[in-house]
Amino acid sequence: MTKNKSKLDFAGDWSYAPAPESTKVKIDKRYKLFIDGKWVEPTSKKYFDTISPSTEEKLAEVAWGNEKDVDKAVKAARKAYEGVWGKMSGKERGKYIYRIARMIQERARELAVIESMDGGKPIRESRDVDIPLVANHFFYYAGWADKLDYAFPNLRPKSLGVAGQIVPWNFPLLMVAWKLAPALACGNTIVLKPAEATSLTALKLVEILQEAGLPDGVVNVVTGFGDTGAAIVNHPDVNKIAFTGSTGVGKIIQKAIAGTDKKCTLELGGKAANIVFEDAPIDQAVEGIVNGIYFNQGHVCCAGSRLFVQESVADIVIRKLKDRMESLIVGDPLDKNTDIGAINSKDQYQIVKNYIKIGKEEGAKFHENSCALPKKGYFVRPTLFTDVSQSHRIAQEEIFGPVLSVQTFRTVSEVIAKANNTEYGLSAGIWTDKGSKIFNMTTKMRAGVVWANTYNKFDPTSPFGGYKESGFGREGGLHGLDAYLDLG
Ligand code: NAI
Ligand code: MG
């Protein structure tokens, strides 16, 4: 239980009960690698701890796969591709994927609780956003499995073979779903590497894949660190790499596969502009700003981390934003009232704290919520910087934490120039009452996704991906199939 006090906490000193499901999940002491339909010891016999960032307690030990393990997994995936999955009709593949989707729904609460324990995100997010989207993603791509010829008329789409998929820690199971569902629908087999801080839900998903009767070797899970990921990237018999994570690792991957015929999609960092015009519905915009940067601890590649407010409404927007910030509850991720959970890991906690320090040193004006933080765990208060200039590092670099930098603007052309002045281009948000302004802005923003009068809305039917250093290729929707097919 977490005690939270804030000025707006009108009920005074009271604590919230944790979500009742928090006691029900079963986590094994140790998780091996999942290769060719079986749990196997890692060759090195090495395991690492996965901890709960909100309690700093160890949850389980997870196998550390090396090059030899990756090689075994790729061989199993190749065998399954050639023997079963690549030859199976789309209609049959679709049945498996539908079954997986339904089983995810059945075990949704359990998956949500484990996601919040292992990664620190509030149960409200994992229960109401992540896991439902995971199931929806499988449902959506199950529907495409037998319709690929209709998706790409006259093109004779063919599967690629073995896909190596490397995912990050901010949406652990959702990123697995984004990768697995389209790859399976298109007839590919997979070697998957979850992020080292958050492997548990991917390992729980293995139980579902087994129960669904998915043939051996179709999905192999090799847990581990960056070296495990690199072994997948460098394996000569992998046909496609799908990666979501930091721009730095994205660049390493691109160099590693240059000159090979591996297909690749990279979804990297972001520094999204959330733009509020003077004619915007202010209260909704404030809610959208909060949703865009504070919920989920700002661990979102498309987080609205740069706020641009038109000068005439800047005072009122910032005042309302500060008021709303003050009501945010930071604490136990398993408490259903929590808005902001724990920062995912000690490393990321230090990165975020360091950027807050940098922001202060750069001369920006600092403001944070005044709530008490739990004594244990990696927690950061929602933070706001005003008097920020374009050249400040907090306005340029990805922080990946609940830290917002605020700038003002006067004209449309000024805000377009400022918003696009970043090396990233993943997403943007526009708040205005005028449809014509929205259309004008969407054509001018160099960003893969532009939300209008809303923020951070996801749907499996809608493609997602970046411009510039935010990566290339699209995941989701019809575009997401393209990434796993040879269209001739
Ligand atoms: P990272 O890019 O190192 O990790 C992402 C995944 O890549 C993990 O599964 C990791 O094990 C794997 N990996 C690491 N090195 C690899 C290599 N050489 N070859 C293949 N796979 C490799 O991200 P990290 O260090 O956890 O976070 C650092 C920063 O990256 C964050 O502060 C944030 O700014 C950004 N980030 C962006 C994400 C996004 O969704 N765009 C997700 C996670 C982090
Ligand atoms: Mg963990």
* Residues 95-144: tens digit of each pLDDT: 999 999 999 999 999 999 999 999 999 999 999 999 999 999 999 999 99
The residues, ordered by sequence, that sit 6+ positions from 166 with a Cβ below 8 Å of its Cβ are: 192, 193, 229, 232, 233, 241, 242, 243, 244, 245
Average pLDDT for the chain: 95
Instruction: Reply yes or no on whether 267 is catalytic.
Output: yes
301 is catalytic: yes
Which has more pLDDT, 100 or 488? 100
Specify the ligand 1 atom closest to the Cα of 232: 20
- At 220-253, the pLDDT tens digits run 999 999 999 999 999 999 999 999 999 999 999 9
Share of the chain above pLDDT 90, in %: 94
The predicted-structure confidence for 19-66, as pLDDT tens digits, reads as follows: 555 557 899 999 999 999 999 999 999 999 999 999 999 999 999 999
Phi, psi of 294 (to 5 degrees): -95, -45
pLDDT value at residue 227? 98
Superfamily of domain 273-452: Aldehyde Dehydrogenase; Chain A, domain 2 (3.40.309.10)
Atom of ligand 1 minimally distant from the CA of 348: 32
**Cα gap 423→274, rounded to integer Å:** 16
Does pLDDT of 1 surpass 70?
Answer: no
Q: Which of the 8 DSSP states describes residue 329?
A: -
Q: Average pLDDT, stretch 6-18?
A: 50
* Nearest residue by C-alpha to atom 12 in ligand 1: 226
Confidence of residue 488 (pLDDT cuts 50, 70, 90): confident
The rounded Å distance from CA 224 to ligand 2 centre is: 12
What ligand has the least distance to the C-alpha of 115?
A: 2
pLDDT band at 413 (very low <50, low <70, confident <90, very high): very high
Active-site residue, selected from the candidate residues 115, 196, 264, 301: 301
> Which residues have C-beta within 8 Å of that of residue 80, sequence separation ≥ 6?
36, 189, 215, 216, 217, 218
Q: How far is the CA of 50 from the centre of ligand 2 (A)?
A: 4
Q: Choosing from 125, 267, 398, 475, which is the catalytic residue?
A: 267
**What are the domain boundaries of the chain?**
30-268+470-486, 273-452
Give 164-207 pLDDT, tens digit per residue: 999 999 999 999 999 999 999 999 999 999 999 999 999 999 99
What is the mean pLDDT of the segment spanning 422-431? 95
User: Looking at residue 16, what is its pLDDT?
Assistant: 55
Residue 464 CA, distance from chain mean position: 11
Ligand 1 atom closest to Cα of residue 197 = 26
Task: Report the alpha-carbon angle 203-208-212, nearest 5.
Answer: 145
Tokens of 430: 């526009």
In this model, does residue 5 exceed pLDDT 50? no
pLDDT band at residue 13 under the 50/70/90 scheme: low
414: confidence class by pLDDT, cuts 50, 70, 90: very high
In the reported structure, the alpha carbon of residue 243 is separated from the centroid of ligand 1 by a whole-number distance in angstroms of: 9
Question: Is the pLDDT confidence value at 8 over 60?
Answer: no
Buried b (16+ CB within 10 A) or exposed e, 185-200: bbbbbbbbbbbbbbbb
Q: Length of the chain in residues, anyone? A: 488
If you measure from the C-alpha of residue 370 to the centroid of ligand 1, how many angstroms do you get, rounded to a whole number?
Answer: 31
Q: What is the mean pLDDT of residues 376-387?
A: 98
Query: Which atom of ligand 1 is nearest the CA belonging to 250?
Result: 2
H-assigned helices in 145-199: 148-151, 172-185
* Residues having CB within 6 Å of any atom of ligand 1: 166-170, 193, 195-196, 225-226, 229-230, 233, 244-246, 249, 252-253, 268-269, 301, 348, 351, 398, 400
Q: For 328-348, what is each residue's pLDDT tens digit?
A: 999 999 998 999 999 999 999
- The answer to whether the beta carbons of residues 275 and 311 sit under 8 Å apart is no
Q: What is the mean pLDDT of residues 386-399?
A: 97
Percentage above 70 pLDDT, the chain? 95
In this predicted structure, which of 10-14, 280-284, 450-454 has the lowest mean pLDDT? Answer: 10-14
Q: What is the 376 CA–ligand 2 centroid distance (Å)?
A: 15
Q: Which ligand is nearest to the CA of 119?
A: 2
pTM for the whole structure: 0.95
Residue ranges with CB less than 5 Å from ion ligand 2: 50, 118, 197
> 30-268+470-486: what fold?
Aldehyde Dehydrogenase; Chain A, domain 1 (3.40.605)
Which ligand lies nearest the alpha carbon of 223? Answer: 1
